[in-house]
Chains A and B, each alone.
Chain A
Amino acid sequence: MRITNQSLYIPFETNLEGIQDRRFKEDLRISSGKQIVALADNPQNLSIIKMLTSQIDQTTQFKSNVEDSLGELYVASEQLGVLGDKIQNIREVNIDALNISNHSALSSIAQHVKGLIDDLIKAANLDFNGHFLFSGTKSTPNTLDKNGVFQNDMPFEIFQGTATATNPSGLQVTFKGNFKDREIQKDKQTTEVINVKADQIFGKDGKEALETLVELYNILEFNPKGEVRITTSPLSKEEFGKINTLQKRLGEFYDNITSVSAQFGSKINRFESIRDQMQNELTNLEAMRSTKNDTDVAKATINLRKEELALQYSLQVGARLLQNSLFDFLK
């Protein structure tokens, strides 16, 4: 084949461009840390990377959901303990009332019970991050069912109603929330309930336990005629019987709260375990993505060096090849 100047230049130029292009890509791979620097590099892997990234984003979000909920679960669990303690406290006070020699202190015991009921309601009205913990999905003041004459914007309220023979103090308890679940999504398919409902804590209508306490207060504060008990007025046999019954019911409520609290504790453990699993899953997903996406620095460095050498030798050989002609030797 006849070799001409142009037939030397053309492949030389093309090859040089090829080497420089490959060298640039390896350089880019090392500096960016990414194996794929253009869509055309590896479309199949790029699709896989996109899917993995999406999966990582979703899992990160689910993990964040679980972590956020854990905060709420911790607070709710602690608050369940507080509620249990209050009821236990009332039960202990009640035992004092049942002591026959304490009849002169019944009124002060009644006031103590009333104070504990207030504390209990205050504890049940706790909010976390702007929402009430135990009022179901009616978790903000403006969504509470305020159909009656209520004093405040809290889900649980004790208010002064009309005194009756069965309720001489006229104290009434109301619950303005509902008993719906609050759920979070913990993975693609499933949701998890994160709230404790009022009826789980306080029984029927979310206020049975509180009404029981008001009933107890009424017995302690008022005599069977509905008059405020005077210090010399002891409890009648019938009242003793009622208080014993109420004490028993309070025991049931306490057991119930303890049981709910235990279930909740178990849920917290499960959430912590899910969070750890998700962390593992994220680590694995990121490792998988890394194998597809990240530069194998050793390989890229070797390739870069290869291309640099190729470029250097091409330039050296090309320079000699293109310079020499017969004219160089004709003097």
Chain B
Amino acid sequence: MGNFNSLEIGKRGLLASQFGLDVTSNNIANVNTPGYSRRMTSLIQSDPLHTNNGFMGTGVMADKLRSFREDFFDNEIRSTLSRKSGYDADQEILHKIETSLAEPSDLDVAKLVNQFFNAFNEASTQPENIGMREHLLGVTQTLVDRFHNLSQKFSDIRRDTNNSLNNSTKQANTLIKQIAGLNKSIAQSYTEGSVPGQTMVDEREKLLEELSKLMNTTIGTGENGSVNVYINGINIITGPVYSELGLQEKIDTETGERTLEIIKTDSKSMKTVLNPQAGEITSNLKHYNITLDENDLSGEYSPIQKLNDLANAIVQKVNAISLNGFGLDDTSTNSPARAIFEPSVGKASAANIAVSKDIKGKPRNIPFSDSPKEGGNNKIALQIARLASDPVFIDGGTPSEFYAAFIGKIGTMSQEAQSATSTTRMVADQLESQRQSTIGVNLDEEAINIVKFQKAFEASSRVISITNDILGTIINLGR
């Protein structure tokens, strides 16, 4: 043992403290970086020297950096985020539907349906009155326009959902590619246990969470720190190898119904349908294929189908009565069979409902009478007006009851999505808080570490300074 050992020990102390300060600085700098997991300097004694007096310490050295990721929290958070983004997507689409329907307000389609039947009621008090007939035509056209407008808006929402699905699929592919790339880099640096390795793990976890928001994933541990990713049990990423995802249109050969599904294509161009169970893509697929699909055959609730059913019931029921009626100028004993709406043949929908050419611009032709040459006869008008109270008009209820149930159902769907979003957000926040309590940076702790390493650095510097003085004294002995 000589005085030079003290210098070496001092140097090691300086280096270890400097390293500790670097790690602490990095933690402080990343205090708000999403996905960052704090690092901790692990100091160990350097190998001792055997002396006549026994083993003598040789100072300190920095060991591996310690990180605090916990798979349990990561898995739970990914799973919760999947559900939360699915509910968020539900809420967004239902909110769009709500806005399209102008709900809640007094300008809804139910109001116009009421106005339509009321216009018949009103006109029935003076069936000869051309002004009232004109008013009825105006109200009918407004109702038809509203149906068209709603149909267009539902169609726009479906197209937006399609665009969103395309974008999400592209985003998923980008994420998958990045995750596979990080798998490769992590595997290379895994054995070194170096800082870049941990940085990549953090980055990969962030990407996995982003992917989970799109579709729920299951993560398996791969070789050398890499991960394997599965969607609904189907492997998407194995280490650095990954599959491309895509959207595929499925056409039902019997019904012609067109739906979308998400598929993976592997290196041999084999296509596999994924059917993810949660996440934004899952939710958007559900709305594209059911909620907004007017040809949906799943039997689940589809607002656009309900709207079409309402339009169809109005057309069929009103026309069935009006075909037996007579206009103001009809003289033949045979009814001219005039419809109020088109199409008079086949199923009507919100998109194709129209005011019949028989009466459009021809108020005198509107069939109010059940006999020819009776301008004051309002039997047909009254029959049509009474449809507003028909207890079996549609789905075993009146038009108003049907619409109230329709709005109630959309409201309930929206409420469920909202409630589920709040719950999953709460769970996600709690999980994130718990994870942060493990992996997050605490500035107070880091402040203590800074003081700790600063003082250690100062003390080591002092050791070197004193050793320098001692060596100077010894050197000066020979003068």
**CB distance A184 to B104 under 8 Å?**
no
**CB distance B128 to A11 under 8 Å?**
no
Q: B187 contacts the other chain (Cβ, under 8 Å)?
A: no
CB distance from B389 to the nearest CB of A (A): 4
A2: nearest chain-B partner, CB-CB: B437
CB distance from A147 to the nearest CB of B (A): 11
Given contacts A34-B104, A140-B375, A185-B382, contact A5 B410 (CB under 8 A): no
**CB distance A39 to B411 under 8 Å?**
yes
**CB distance B121 to A65 under 8 Å?**
yes
Residues in B whose Cβ lies below 8 Å from that of A178: 374
**CB distance B375 to A51 under 8 Å?**
no
CB distance from B426 to the nearest CB of A (A): 8
Residue of B94, B124, B378, B404 near A47 (CB, 8 A) is B404
Q: Which of A53-61, A76-84, A240-248, A271-279 binds B? A: A53-61
Question: What does the 1/0 interface line of B233-247 toward A look like (CB < 8 Å)?
Answer: 000000000000000
Residue of A40, A142, A180 near B411 (CB, 8 A) is A40
CA distance A325 to B409 in the complex (A): 51
Question: What does the 1/0 interface line of B246-263 toward A look like (CB < 8 Å)?
Answer: 000000000000000000
Residues in B whose Cβ lies below 8 Å from that of A137: 369, 371, 374-378
B431: nearest chain-A partner, CB-CB: A10
**CB distance B385 to A10 under 8 Å?**
no
CA distance A86 to B386 in the complex (A): 41
CA distance A11 to B378 in the complex (A): 67
- For B, the interface residue count at a CB cutoff of 8 angstroms equals 69
**CB distance B104 to A37 under 8 Å?**
yes
**CB distance B433 to A7 under 8 Å?**
yes
**CB distance B377 to A36 under 8 Å?**
no
Q: A291 contacts the other chain (Cβ, under 8 Å)?
A: no
Segment 152-181 of B: residues with Cβ below 8 Å from A: none
**CB distance B412 to A182 under 8 Å?**
no
Segment 403-427 of B: residues with Cβ below 8 Å from A: 403-405, 407-412, 414-415, 417-418, 425-426
Given contacts A50-B404, A143-B373, A325-B447, contact A39 B440 (CB under 8 A): no
Residues in A whose Cβ lies below 8 Å from that of B118: 57-58, 61
Q: Among the interface residues B111, B124, B409, B440, which one has the most CB atoms of the partner chain A within 10 A? A: B440
**CB distance A54 to B129 under 8 Å?**
no
Question: What does the 1/0 interface line of A97-134 toward B look like (CB < 8 Å)?
Answer: 00000000000000000000000000000000111100
CB distance from A267 to the nearest CB of B (A): 15
**CB distance A131 to B404 under 8 Å?**
no
**CB distance B408 to A46 under 8 Å?**
yes
Q: B328 contacts the other chain (Cβ, under 8 Å)?
A: yes
**CB distance B124 to A184 under 8 Å?**
yes
CA distance A325 to B414 in the complex (A): 42
Residues in B whose Cβ lies below 8 Å from that of A39: 94, 98, 103-104, 407, 410-411, 414-415
Q: B145 contacts the other chain (Cβ, under 8 Å)?
A: no
Segment 248-295 of B: residues with Cβ below 8 Å from A: none
Q: B185 contacts the other chain (Cβ, under 8 Å)?
A: no
CB distance from B105 to the nearest CB of A (A): 9
A128: nearest chain-B partner, CB-CB: B126
CB distance from A19 to the nearest CB of B (A): 14
**CB distance B443 to A326 under 8 Å?**
yes
**CB distance B438 to A2 under 8 Å?**
yes
Q: B321 contacts the other chain (Cβ, under 8 Å)?
A: no
Q: A165 contacts the other chain (Cβ, under 8 Å)?
A: no
CB distance from A43 to the nearest CB of B (A): 3
Residues in B whose Cβ lies below 8 Å from that of A184: 124-125, 378
Q: A6 contacts the other chain (Cβ, under 8 Å)?
A: yes
CA distance A37 to B418 in the complex (A): 14
B416: nearest chain-A partner, CB-CB: A40
Given contacts A5-B440, A50-B400, A330-B447, contact A140 B376 (CB under 8 A): yes
CA distance A130 to B122 in the complex (A): 15
Name B residues whose Cβ lies closer than 8 Å to a Cβ of A. Answer: 31-32, 94, 98, 103-104, 106, 108, 110-111, 114-115, 118, 121-122, 124-126, 128-130, 328-329, 369, 371, 373-378, 382, 385-386, 388-389, 398, 400-401, 403-405, 407-412, 414-415, 417-418, 425-426, 429, 432-434, 436-438, 440-444, 447-448, 451
Closest 5 CB pairs of A and B: A43-B411, A4-B440, A139-B376, A54-B400, A326-B447
Could you list 24 A-B pairs, sorted by A, with CB under 8 Å? A1-B437, A4-B440, A6-B441, A7-B432, A7-B433, A39-B98, A40-B417, A41-B415, A42-B411, A50-B404, A54-B114, A54-B400, A55-B400, A64-B122, A65-B124, A131-B129, A132-B376, A137-B371, A139-B128, A143-B374, A143-B376, A183-B124, A185-B385, A325-B443
Name A residues whose Cβ lies closer than 8 Å to a Cβ of B. Answer: 1-7, 10-11, 14, 34, 36-44, 46-51, 53-55, 57-58, 61-62, 64-65, 68-69, 129-132, 135-140, 142-143, 145, 178, 180, 182-185, 188-189, 191, 194-195, 325-327, 330
Beyond the given A7-B436, A43-B410, A43-B412, could you list 17 further A-B residue pairs with CB under 8 A, ordered by the A residue number? A1-B437, A2-B438, A5-B31, A14-B426, A41-B415, A50-B108, A50-B404, A53-B106, A58-B389, A65-B125, A69-B125, A137-B375, A142-B375, A143-B374, A184-B125, A185-B382, A194-B125
